[in-house]
Amino acid sequence: MKIKADESVCIGAGMCALTVPKIFDQSEEEGTVVLLQDVPPEDLEDAVRRAVTLCPSGAISIE
């Protein structure tokens, strides 16, 4: 699994950072998504999938 995050699409809702804080954060300047790891450990894959579905702007995706 590989995660992609598009900061230009992000609206700063923060659902990803709340759902999987080991993988996602938010920039202090813009409030947009910051990807901490683009390949999550196996034990976080389900949580990452959930974060993708919760993202209201579709800024994060999985390859």
DSSP string, 6-42: -TTT-----HHHHH-TTTEEE-TTT--EEES-SS--G
pLDDT of residue 22: 98
User: Which pLDDT score is estimated for 19?
Assistant: 98
Give me the pLDDT at residue 31, please: 95
What's the confidence (pLDDT) of residue 42?
A: 97
Of 45, 25, 46, the residue nearest 36 (C-alpha): 25
Which pLDDT score, from 0 to 100, does residue 14 have?
96
Please name the residues in contact with 29: beta carbons below 8 A apart, sequence gap of 6 or more. none
pLDDT tens track, the chain, 63 positions: 999 999 999 999 999 999 999 999 999 999 999 999 999 999 999 999 999 999 999 999 999
